[in-house]
């Protein structure tokens, strides 16, 4: 009897707390994004201009592709550290073919190299069951080295401008004044969302990230899942790398080092996806990346130095993580 | 009445390193019956279930399913044959909702051109399964937000959502309320009518009478016999479960006990136990018996300051004490040898020596650092005294056998000058030789005036080692008896 009454009381008391918690979990990150936008438009001159917003979105779109791959990996309970180097390597692979006049083969090469490196990650993690962080850290070094190896660290330039126009359009073209790369990024956003929400494969990603053991008992193959997930993650880097080569019409061996790796994980975390997997969606990742980019842009416009910016972004990441932990407990 | 045998085990043998879990088991399951499997811990029930589930492969013997010999190599294969299993520990994904869990890896698809998961169907079918069980929960509730009793029902719903021919329920009522149990039982009767064969594993003897058609009793990896429920009295079942005499491996001898050193008064801790009172004298061994889930470990942790106390008192050496953390308890002179050594008892990657002194580094203080020479000397002494078999005191504790690890954990408590030692399942998972050594040490320590509390699920161990025995059931003390009064039947009756 005593325990029963106390349960009821607890339930009543916690109804409000539950609702509040639910709203916070669901919409907190959107609220944070809106606050960033409001603060930015008030404090940063020229922030609210069409050209500025489109600029930010364009730059962001290149990174967006890798965050889709990272979202799959993190939701499934892993982490892919190899993104920075894979973007550089695939950019080089793509640019090498662009330089000798085969842009579409360049695109294919970029995608293929990315997928292949991801496949290796996935096979090691899935079959040998090595830790994803260690495995992809290894790949980060290897792919980073490879990207520098073939040209001795030099950029790849050249190619016949007439032949690469269509390819260049992918990254720099506009449809109704909207940069094509933004449209491309949105299309892939919808595809990733569909994959996660409406396919069995996507549902199994959540299951694996939620409870590996229970997922395996239900008959979901850990190896198969990890191989596909990391291959897609590599493919997403190939996409970003190829598009970078299309934008610059050159290959930079360290183009992915730094921002790409940091923002690929950063966007997923800041967007409020569960860092241990099992909960979240790609929409959150998009908002996470938008917060990082609009914040950076606003600070730029306010004339704050890059170093100070980094400190501020770091504080924001910690703040979000703290808020994330609060609503999880 | 339908009574076709749907499944037959013939001479199933299963060995693990060091133990024979099943010694030639014969067992038969018929269509439309509830067959209850009973047996003490380690009797081989779960091994049998795991063979049925395709998790383990038998070393010898045949499995006949529908009149044909079969092998079940994987859980999926067993599942496809129509065998559904509800394990005692849940296999649910906390971050997903009920519908997602029930249809995991068998999500229905819809759409011609683009095949996609039919979420409406998942939730409507989940709803109807839950309704059939008379469970009133939203199919979209997240598992993490549900109370334990609901989780059990979700597990059962998971098994019922598919057409099973054999349904295995492993202790399904251990977390259910009376009403939920009733619902489950009426659902089981319904399934029986539909011709499903149900294998029901339970410790609760009163349930067996209510739900079972036939009973098979397991003991030490052998079926001790099967029979219709009408022909089996509870007394008979208990006899079959226990059988043999206790072997005389226990070095117990009569000792002088001193004055009271620890006493517990109306101790309660929310959600775990309530109303616990007992006292312990110096030189005494107090056994605490009961089934898994009787909250004995929680009691030990509460006395040790590792679990908050709701109400009641603990008196130690004549003073009322309030331990806010294990640190306080250790400092006062209480030592706990936890059940889960790897998790709570030792630092696996540290050396034997570091483990022994880990709870009492204060005693080694020298200037700003530690007196490692003193550590070496002390640990060598314990190694000698407790006969710890290790190549050196610098060896990682991980590489020692279970029995020797237990001795190191004991040395840790002795190093901090514990006067009361709480042994939680002291011989779990260690071999017979090491068991005897642990028993000898316990007797010796009691002889030196230590007060000992021994929590054990092994009845022979409780009977063989204790001077006095408490029996706990579902967080309460149900019996207290002296060594002379106690026997297996009395202990079981109080525990069940």
pLDDT tens by residue, B35-81: 998 876 667 888 888 888 888 888 888 888 888 888 888 877 888 88
With an 8 Å Cβ cutoff, are B91 and A219 in contact? no
pLDDT value of position B429: 67
Poorest-confidence range of A279-293, B33-47, B128-142, B360-374?
Answer: B33-47
How many contacts (CB atoms, under 8 Å) link A and B? 61
**Looking at beta carbons, which residues of chain B come within 8 Å of A198?**
116-117
A204 in reach of chain B (CB within 8 A): yes
CA distance A174 to chain B (A): 30
B236 phi, psi to nearest 5 deg: -65, -40
Cross-chain Cβ contact A200/B109 below 8 Å: yes
CA angle (B313 as vertex; B310, B319 as ends), nearest 5? 145
The pLDDT of residue A258 is above 50? yes
Give chain B positions within 8 Å (CB) of A217.
Answer: 75, 91
Q: For residue range B87-146, list pLDDT tens digits in order.
A: 877 788 989 999 999 998 888 899 888 889 999 999 999 998 888 777 788 999 889 888
Q: Which of B72, B105, B311 is the best mutation test for A, with the most CBs of A within 10 A?
A: B105
With residues binned 3-state (H G I as helix, E B as strand, rest as coil), the percentages for chain B, rounded to 5, are 35, 30, 35
pLDDT of B269-300, one tens digit each? Answer: 887 888 999 999 999 999 999 887 788 999 99
- In chain A, the percentage of residues whose pLDDT exceeds 70 is 92
Distance CA A159, CA A168 (A): 12
Which residues in chain A have their CB less than 8 angstroms from residue B104's CB? 203-204, 207, 214-215, 218, 220
Give, in degrees to the nearest 5, the angle at Cα B237 between B234 and B239: 110
E-strand stretches of B282-426: 285-290, 311-316, 319-321, 334-337, 365-366, 369-370, 420-424
User: Which domains occur in chain B, in start order?
Assistant: 5-242 (3.40.50.300), 260-495 (3.40.50.300)
Average pLDDT of chain A is: 85
CB contact under 8 A, B76 and A219: yes
Structural contact between residues B134 and B190, judged by C-beta atoms closer than 8 angstroms: no
Orientation angle between helical segments A222-248 and A50-75, nearest 10 degrees:
160
For residue A220, list chain B residues with Cβ-Cβ distance below 8 A: 104-105
Distance from the Cα of B19 to chain A's closest Cα (Å) equals: 26
Most distant CA pair in chain A, distance: 84
User: What is the predicted ipTM?
Assistant: 0.81
- Which of A14, A211, A277 should one mutate to test binding to chain B, selecting the residue with the greatest count of B CBs within 10 A? A211
pLDDT at residue A5, as a whole number: 35
The per-residue pLDDT for range B153-205, each reduced to its tens digit, is: 888 888 878 778 899 988 887 767 777 788 788 888 888 888 889 999 886 77
Q: Where are the alpha helices (DSSP H) in B243-351?
A: 296-303, 326-332
Nearest to A207 among B75, B93, B115 (CB): B93
| Cβ count within 10 A of residue A1 | 5
Contacts of A278 in chain B (CB under 8 A): 93-96
Give just the sign of the alpha carbon dihedral B79, B84, B85, B86: positive
Closest to A285 (Cα-Cα) out of A274, A295, A296 = A274
Q: Evaluate if residue A58 carries a pLDDT over 90.
A: yes
Instruction: Judge whether B208 and B229 are in contact, CB under 8 Å.
Output: yes
The burial class, CB within 10 Å (0-12 / 13-18 / 19+), for A138 is middle
Q: What is the pLDDT of residue B395?
A: 86
Question: Could you state, in order of their start, the residue ranges of all structural domains in chain A?
Answer: 49-256+273-280
Torsion of CA B407, B408, B409, B412, to 10 degrees: 120
Distance from CA of A142 to the nearest CA of B (A): 31
Are the Cβ atoms of A198 and B117 closer than 8 angstroms? yes
Contact residues for A111 (Cβ-Cβ < 8 A; gap 6+): A90, A235, A238, A239, A242
pLDDT surpasses 70 at B259: yes
**Minimum distance, in Å, between the CA of residue A210 and any CA atom of chain B:** 6
Residues of chain B with Cβ-Cβ distance to A329 below 8 Å are none
The pLDDT value recorded for residue A8 is: 37
Q: Six-digit token pair at B291?
A: 């089934």
In this structure, what token pair is assigned to residue B391? 């190549």
DSSP strand pairing (B451-455 vs B285-290)? parallel
Coil, helix or strand at residue B242: helix
pLDDT, position B245: 46
Reduced to 3 states (helix: H, G, I; strand: E, B; else coil), residue B286 is strand
Question: Whole-angstrom Cα distance, residue B201 to residue B43?
Answer: 12
């Amino acid at each position: 009897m005593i325990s029963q009454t106390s349960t009821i009381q607890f339930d009543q008391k916690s109804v409000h707390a539950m609702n509040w918690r639910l709203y916070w979990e669901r919409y907190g990150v959107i609220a944070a994004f809106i606050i960033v936008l409001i603060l930015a438009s008030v404090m940063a001159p020229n922030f609210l201009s069409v050209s500025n917003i489109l600029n930010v979105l364009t730059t962001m779109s290149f990174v967006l592709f890798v965050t889709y791959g990272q979202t799959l990996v993190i939701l499934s309970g892993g982490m892919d550290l190899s993104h920075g180097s894979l973007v550089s390597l695939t950019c080089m692979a793509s640019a090498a073919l662009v330089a000798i006049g085969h842009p579409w083969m360049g695109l294919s090469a970029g995608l293929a190299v990315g997928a292949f490196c991801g496949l290796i990650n996935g096979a090691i993690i899935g079959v040998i069951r090595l830790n994803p962080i260690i495995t992809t850290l290894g790949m980060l070094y290897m792919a980073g080295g490879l990207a520098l190896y073939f040209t001795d660290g030099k950029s790849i330039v050249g190619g016949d401008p007439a032949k690469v126009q269509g390819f260049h359009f992918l990254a720099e073209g506009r449809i109704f004044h909207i940069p094509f790369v933004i449209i491309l990024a949105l299309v892939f956003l919808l595809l990733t969302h569909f994959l996660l929400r409406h396919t069995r494969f996507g549902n199994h990603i959540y299951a694996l990230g939620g409870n590996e053991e229970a997922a395996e008992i239900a008959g979901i193959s850990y190896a198969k899942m990890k191989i596909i997930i990391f291959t897609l993650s590599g493919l997403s880097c190939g996409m970003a790398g190829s598009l970078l080569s299309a934008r610059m019409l050159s290959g930079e061996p360290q183009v992915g080092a730094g921002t790409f790796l940091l923002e690929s994980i950063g966007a997923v975390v800041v967007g409020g996806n569960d860092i241990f997997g099992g909960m979240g969606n790609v929409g959150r990742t998009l908002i996470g990346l938008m917060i990082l980019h609009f914040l950076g842009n606003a600070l730029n416009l306010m004339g704050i130095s890059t170093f100070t910016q980094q400190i501020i972004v770091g504080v924001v990441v910690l703040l979000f993580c703290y808020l994330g932990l609060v609503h999880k407990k | 009445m339908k009574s076709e045998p749907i499944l037959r085990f013939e001479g199933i043998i299963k060995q693990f390193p060091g133990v024979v879990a099943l010694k030639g088991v014969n067992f038969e399951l018929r269509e439309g019956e509830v067959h209850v499997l009973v047996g003490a811990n380690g009797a081989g029930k779960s091994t049998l279930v795991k063979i049925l589930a395709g998790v383990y492969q038998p070393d010898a013997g045949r499995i006949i399913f529908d009149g044909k010999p079969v092998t079940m190599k994987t859980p999926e294969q067993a599942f496809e044959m129509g065998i559904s299993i509800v394990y005692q520990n849940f296999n649910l994904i906390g971050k997903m909702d009920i519908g997602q869990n029930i249809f995991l890896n068998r999500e229905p698809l819809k759409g011609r051109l683009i095949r996609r998961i039919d979420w409406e169907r998942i939730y409507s079918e989940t709803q109807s399964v839950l309704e059939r069980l008379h469970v009133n929960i939203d199919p979209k509730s997240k598992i993490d937000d549900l109370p334990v009793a609901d989780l059990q029902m979700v597990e059962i719903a998971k098994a019922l959502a598919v057409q099973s021919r054999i349904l295995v329920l492993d202790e399904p009522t251990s977390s259910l309320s009376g009403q939920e149990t009733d619902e489950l039982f009426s659902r089981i009767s319904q399934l029986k009518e539909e011709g499903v064969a149900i294998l029901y594993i339970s410790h609760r003897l009163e349930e067996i009478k209510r739900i079972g058609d036939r009973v098979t009793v397991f003991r030490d990896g052998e079926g001790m016999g099967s029979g219709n429920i009408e022909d089996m009295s509870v007394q008979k079942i208990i006899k079959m479960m226990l059988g043999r005499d206790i072997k005389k491996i226990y070095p117990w001898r009569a000792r002088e006990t001193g004055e009271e050193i620890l006493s517990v008064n109306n101790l309660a801790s929310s959600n775990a136990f309530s109303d616990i009172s007992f006292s312990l004298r110096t030189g005494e061994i107090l056994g605490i018996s009961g089934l898994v889930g009787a909250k004995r470990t929680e009691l030990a942790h509460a006395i040790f300051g590792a679990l908050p106390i709701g109400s009641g008192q603990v008196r130690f050496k004549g003073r009322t004490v309030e331990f806010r953390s294990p640190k306080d308890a250790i400092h006062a002179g209480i030592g706990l040898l936890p059940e889960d050594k790897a998790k709570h008892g030792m630092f696996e990657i540290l050396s034997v020596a570091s483990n022994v002194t880990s709870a009492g580094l204060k005693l080694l203080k020298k200037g700003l650092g530690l007196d490692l020479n003193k550590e070496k000397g002390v640990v060598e002494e314990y190694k000698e005294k407790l006969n710890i078999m290790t190549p050196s005191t610098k060896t990682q504790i991980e590489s020692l056998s279970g029995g020797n690890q237990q001795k190191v954990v004991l040395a840790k408590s002795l190093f901090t000058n514990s006067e009361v030692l709480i042994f939680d399942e002291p011989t779990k998972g260690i071999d017979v030789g090491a068991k005897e050594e642990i028993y000898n040490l316990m007797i010796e320590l009691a002889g030196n005036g230590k007060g000992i509390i021994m929590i054990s699920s092994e009845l022979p161990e409780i009977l063989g080692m204790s001077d006095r025995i408490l029996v706990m059931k579902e967080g309460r003390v149900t019996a207290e008896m002296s060594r002379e009064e106690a026997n297996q039947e009395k202990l079981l009756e109080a525990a069940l």
